[in-house]
Structure 1
Amino acid sequence: MSEVTPISLPRSGNVATLLFGRASAIAVALIFPLVLLLAWGWASARGWLPEQILPPPRYVWQAAVETVQGGDLLQHIGFSAARVAAGFAIGASIGLALGLAMGLIPTFDDYVRPTFTAIAQVPTLGWIPLLMLFLGIGEALKIVIIAKAALVPVVLNTAAGIRGIPRGYMEVADAFRFTPAQRLRRLVLPAALPQIFTGIRYGLTKAWTALVAVELLASSEGLGYLLVWGRQMFWLDVMLFAMIVIGVVGYLMDLVLARVEAHFQSWRVEAL
């Protein structure tokens, strides 16, 4: 008679502890925003700043409801998300390839790193006047600026992660006579993955901030445009709402990448 493998079910106590831990973490994370909201409402109610400078929270809430109901918010988020996705995909792809080459080939790193470091020292927005001469102020300019912003941290962190692999690991790969492809897939990428993901997350943050900045300068749609449009029309409630949305969307993108990183590195936790 074949044995039946029992199915292990999580204990109710463990589930309750997990839910309580997550609820506690969320509560702690919300304390500071709630304090800021209360201070904002208190300052507005006391009239410490005129409404033309600091609108009350209820005005911002009304602007948020009107913007969402009118459908404008989703359109602006869609334009911004499409731009940052395209630019980040290009910048991160080139950054991974360049970072791998710099980390794996010391001679290539010696030739490329000085020039790359000099280029990286120029702020992303500093390239806009030059690129405008070649690309104009259309979508190509926005994509290139976003790609450049994402490129630098991905390259630096990928190269640093590869250079930080212990020499003993390489000696084990030599002992097993790994081919270059096997060495890359089984050793280099898994060992450098934490540093690589750090660069990807930081690159996404840089890409998002560059997107908003370039939309402030040259755009007729997107969250950056919504921000500057509210300022130009002196609709400060709309401007503040746009700032909140920019921060929330950026946080959610980083949270998604953090979950992806945790998924790909779950084997490290299981191996402990």
Structure 2
Amino acid sequence: MNKKVNNFNVTGLILPLIILLAWHLSVQSGMFPPAILPPIGDVAMAFLNMMESGLLVGDILVSLTRVLRGYLLAIFAGVTLGTLMGTSKHINDFFTLTLNSIRQIPILAWIPLIILWLGIGEESKVAVIFLAAFFPILINTISGMLSTPKGLVEVAALYKLSGWMTFRKVYFPSALPQIFVGLKLGLGISWVAVVAAELIAASSGIGFRISDARSMMEPDVMIVGMISIGVLGVSMDKALTLILDRITPWEK
């Protein structure tokens, strides 16, 4: 197992190294001017300067706080409603048409209206993240509940388990892997949403920093922001995977 993990890690580094090499050669050959694609050294220096000044850490904390607030709200609402819709046909029929209609509207189309309703403060950004993350979590929770083997549900009924015990012992363990698929999808979309919201209306955060760097013609700062989002997203996704492995060992 360890050998496979190590091989995967080494293999996973090949493409980033190829990208870095292509980046370096493109800049050195003059294919792209520094104003469009800065040298790797300039990006590294921008990273160090932003770390030293505290700008990068501050922006990361602001964006991370927004993501966590919206994402956790989406988990609560998505898993709760998804459980109800996945275990009750009447509730499913009541919500499906409306939610499917809302789900078709791109998150970018919601941002101006949400800002109009909630202003440009933290509430609007959290609302955008919530709306973006909610539907992947909801849909996968419903799918997980509906895919619960009917035989297990019948056994629970045979033993006269209560509704809560049936959910706890049958539905939830069976649906958990699918729920985590929704959690991971929702997490990725949360970062897309927070950057989109910060690009439009914010005075802090990684998205704001990228937008500000664009207006100041600082591509090195823009790339630092983009890499920071990627690293944060991958780290949080890995954390979710580790949690899933711990609580669902039978899925390994």
Q: Report matched runs for 1:115-134 at 5 Å.
A: 115-134=98-117
Instruction: Report the AA paired with residue 213 of structure 2.
Output: G
Instruction: Indicate yes or no: 2:83 matched with 1:100.
Output: yes
Q: Report matched runs for 1:51-200 at 5 Å.
A: 51-200=34-183
The C-alpha deviation readout for 1:105-150, integer Å capped at 9, x for no partner, is: 1011112101100001101121112122211111110011111111
Match of 2:224 in 1: 241
The C-alpha deviation readout for 1:181-221, integer Å capped at 9, x for no partner, is: 11010001001111111111111111111011101111111
Instruction: Report the AA paired with residue 142 of structure 1.
Output: K
How much has 1:230 moved relative to structure 2?
A: 1.0
Match of 1:259 in 2: 242
Match of 1:222 in 2: 205
Q: Report matched runs for 1:19-38 at 5 Å.
A: 20-38=3-21
How many residue pairs match? The answer is 252
How much has 1:92 moved relative to structure 2?
A: 1.2
The C-alpha deviation readout for 1:52-83, integer Å capped at 9, x for no partner, is: 11111111111111111111111111001111
Instruction: Report the AA paired with residue 31 of structure 1.
Output: I
Structure 2: which 5+ runs fail to align?
Answer: none
Q: What TM-score does the superposition give when structure 2 sets the normalisation length?
A: 0.97
Runs of 4+ in 1 over 4 A off after TM superposition: none
How much has 1:22 moved relative to structure 2?
A: 2.8
CA distance in 1, matches of 2:61, 2:98: 36
Greater radius of gyration (CA): 1
Structure 1: which 5+ runs fail to align?
Answer: 1-16
Q: What TM-score does the superposition give when structure 1 sets the normalisation length?
A: 0.90
Equivalent of 1:213 in 176, 190, 196: 196
Pick closer, same or farther for the CA change 1:113–1:238 going to 2, 3 Å.
same
